[in-house]
Amino acid sequence: MSEICSTCGLPKELCVCETIAKESQKITAALEKRKFGKPYTVIVGIDEKEIDIKDLARKLKEKFACGGTAKDGKIELQGNHVTKVRQALVSLGFAPETIDVK
Ligand SMILES: [Zn+2]
């Protein structure tokens, strides 16, 4: 038995909710400096109801081989990845025009 999407009621393999959702986000990625001048790449604007941000954060951490957290609709990645973050998000299915890199 396959998992059923709670949004459209279709089995997960037929469901396109997340695919559609990925094209309609308004993502902003920016570099933030924390204590001791440590850089963090912070990604905001992803709708947690539509996108599994924990899973997304895990994939980004894998790609950049860095640490990070995901909570309250915000992904924080250790290190400066602003030059690569757009490409990484696009490769995960997000539309380039929905990603604003500061
Ligand atoms: Zn669905």
Distance 93 CA to ligand 1 centre (A): 16
Chain segment 25-44, per-residue pLDDT in tens? 999 999 999 888 899 999 99
Q: Residue 1's pLDDT is what?
A: 62
Distance 31 CA to ligand 1 centre (A): 33
Distance 4 CA to ligand 1 centre (A): 8
List, as one string, the DSSP characters of 14-48.
T--HHHHHHTS--EEEEEEE-GGG-EEEEEE---T
Instruction: Assess whether pLDDT exceeds 90 at residue 62.
Output: yes
Distance 102 CA to ligand 1 centre (A): 32
- Give percent of the chain above pLDDT 90: 80
